Structure 1
């Protein structure tokens, strides 16, 4: 849907399904409808590429191949997947172990992540014990926001709102009739809002690195950052953390805005 304002700027709304969620896009720019539709298609293609590369549940993805074979022998990774896994391993330490991409491994414990070995020399990965699996699901949509941000910058789109399933949001520039973009009563301006949690007692999906069990409780934790990938990591880590760890993490990342809410059901 496209609407041209009297000031000569155009507002384009589009949506599509990707990464197992709905992606809503609002672009506000002086570019033509055709130019803005090109940007939407560019974003769609980028998300399809990320899903093909890093979808834990797709047996044809590059990540699934890694999980099947990296214990047998080192696997050379694409440059992008290598950088993603490298960043996630780095933030395991920076989140006091609360963000762990190996929690879906067989016989998981808090030391399982030490079995993942990256080689910077040839961009390969190796698992030093069987049953290890890397799952980027608690990171991928945040990383996608950063990919989309790069596309919007490349295409010189200064005002945009990208909403991936209401849990991963990118807000650039301003709303057509105001400053920034208001999402769930949170004003965003050149920022990302990422949310992790359970929306009901039955729908649990985040595993605690402490005991390898699903985190209980119907609540959500949202984080506002300038980087969607880091925001996704932090919201996941804060939700999986215990009380003392959460307090420590909120001190370490005091420059980020954190919102904790209880879900009513």
Structure 2
């Protein structure tokens, strides 16, 4: 639920409008701003850059999209030939299985967030993800199937071997689900590809999760607006972002109601059930992979658990709104103000 203001052209995202509106005379000249979109990872991915050469921009964007495609092939939960599902099918493994650089980096970060959130973020949740997709299609919930799926869930079943860059799976019926982190990792990789091609003022938006490098010339940052529980209302928070990322997680559109109880599509891997409190969580972090993973984790933890989990995370800040007894409650991490100040330019540079 992130609204992004960039230029005058109107584009539409899956959660919030990706508005392109004039930002004043200080903004980079409109002819230097370029936008291109492709469909990847189940969403529309947009690349925006402040660049004088359209040819240079297109070449860099092609490289960035190619990189996203590589990561999708490695991390997809929908492609049976993806590296992560081929790995999952081998559990339990008798010997550690060597993995690619990208899968190693994603799993390493995932395990770090798992430890920092007391298991609220867990990529071994795949068996549950598969069951809950079926539940939502049929509008039915099966407690026995949840119990069976839980036998393959838990970070203790996933062992990393740094000296070999290899993975061991200690349980059968495991299925690694990178849906809570892969999109962010792909955004970071795309930005790296753009930078290697000489595009230093860029933004990548993947279905509302955003990563950015330097802002357009004449701007303090890329202007983003964060929506509350009702995504149709105007943004509650508007700020600028530079060399950082932001991701939002919530249950406004995907949920299941069973016996009078509402379960989000966001699953608590510790219980096997969808989160039963309504809420929206926006996370700011130094990179998109961190923002993506922490947005999922904090959606599970809620305000009470978030305070403890974020106490030692200086590079992660959050704004969240949840319904408590049908009343909206806002919780903001104590470091949000300082984080936003740090990740924007102190003074807008000259447009030229």
Smaller-chain TM-score bracket: 0.7 to 0.9
- Answer yes or no: is the 8 Å Cα contact 1:96–1:245 preserved in 2: no
Match of residue 245 from structure 1: 305
Task: For 1:138 and 1:113, locate their aligned partners in 2 and report how far apart those are by CA, in whole Å.
Answer: 15
Task: For 2:320 and 2:163, locate their aligned partners in 1 and report how far apart those are by CA, in whole Å.
Answer: 41
Alignment of 1:165-184 (within 5 A): 165-166=207-208, 168-176=209-217, 178-184=219-225
- Confirm or deny that 1:118 pairs with 2:160: yes
Q: CA deviation at 1:61?
A: 0.5
With over 3 angstroms needed to count, the CA separation of the structure-2 counterparts of 1:94 and 1:62, relative to structure 1, is same
With over 3 angstroms needed to count, the CA separation of the structure-2 counterparts of 1:155 and 1:245, relative to structure 1, is same
Residue number among 53, 57, 68 corresponding to 2:74 in the alignment? 53
Task: For 1:183 and 1:8, locate their aligned partners in 2 and report how far apart those are by CA, in whole Å.
Answer: 18
Alignment of 1:135-154 (within 5 A): 135-154=177-196
In the superposition, the TM-score normalised over structure 1's length comes to: 0.88
Task: For 1:8 and 1:128, locate their aligned partners in 2 and report how far apart those are by CA, in whole Å.
Answer: 55
With over 3 angstroms needed to count, the CA separation of the structure-2 counterparts of 1:58 and 1:7, relative to structure 1, is closer
Q: Deviations over 1:28-63 (max 9, x none)?
A: 023x21111011111111111111111012101011
Larger relative contact order, structure 1 or 2 (CA cutoff 8 Å, min sep 6): 2
- Confirm or deny that 1:86 pairs with 2:108: yes
Q: Deviations over 1:118-176 (max 9, x none)?
A: 2233322221221122111100011112112211221222211211111x101222235
The answer to which of 195-204 and 92-101 deviates more is 195-204
Task: For 2:301 and 2:111, locate their aligned partners in 1 and report how far apart those are by CA, in whole Å.
Answer: 17
- Confirm or deny that 1:236 pairs with 2:277: no
SS of match in other structure, 2:167: strand
Residue number among 113, 120, 123 corresponding to 1:101 in the alignment? 123
Task: For 1:8 and 1:37, locate their aligned partners in 2 and report how far apart those are by CA, in whole Å.
Answer: 16
- Answer yes or no: is the 8 Å Cα contact 1:201–1:216 preserved in 2: no
Match of residue 191 from structure 1: 244
With over 3 angstroms needed to count, the CA separation of the structure-2 counterparts of 1:177 and 1:213, relative to structure 1, is same
Q: CA deviation at 1:208?
A: 0.4
The answer to which of 59-68 and 102-111 deviates more is 102-111
Task: For 1:6 and 1:189, locate their aligned partners in 2 and report how far apart those are by CA, in whole Å.
Answer: 15
Q: CA deviation at 1:6?
A: 9.7
Number of equivalenced pairs: 260
With over 3 angstroms needed to count, the CA separation of the structure-2 counterparts of 1:8 and 1:161, relative to structure 1, is closer
Task: For 2:88 and 2:124, locate their aligned partners in 1 and report how far apart those are by CA, in whole Å.
Answer: 10
Note the residue ranges of structure 2 that are not aligned, 5 or more in a row: 1-8, 10-26, 128-147, 226-237, 257-263, 324-352
- Answer yes or no: is the 8 Å Cα contact 1:99–1:233 preserved in 2: yes
With over 3 angstroms needed to count, the CA separation of the structure-2 counterparts of 1:250 and 1:164, relative to structure 1, is same
Q: Deviations over 1:64-88 (max 9, x none)?
A: 1011113244432122212221221
Task: For 2:83 and 2:92, locate their aligned partners in 1 and report how far apart those are by CA, in whole Å.
Answer: 15
- Answer yes or no: is the 8 Å Cα contact 2:68–2:186 preserved in 1: yes
SS of match in other structure, 1:103: helix
Q: CA deviation at 1:219?
A: 2.2
Residue number among 122, 130, 140 corresponding to 2:172 in the alignment? 130
Task: For 1:206 and 1:66, locate their aligned partners in 2 and report how far apart those are by CA, in whole Å.
Answer: 24
- Confirm or deny that 1:10 pairs with 2:32: yes
The answer to which of 6-15 and 94-103 deviates more is 6-15
Q: Which runs of 4+ in 1 moved over 3 A?
A: 5-9
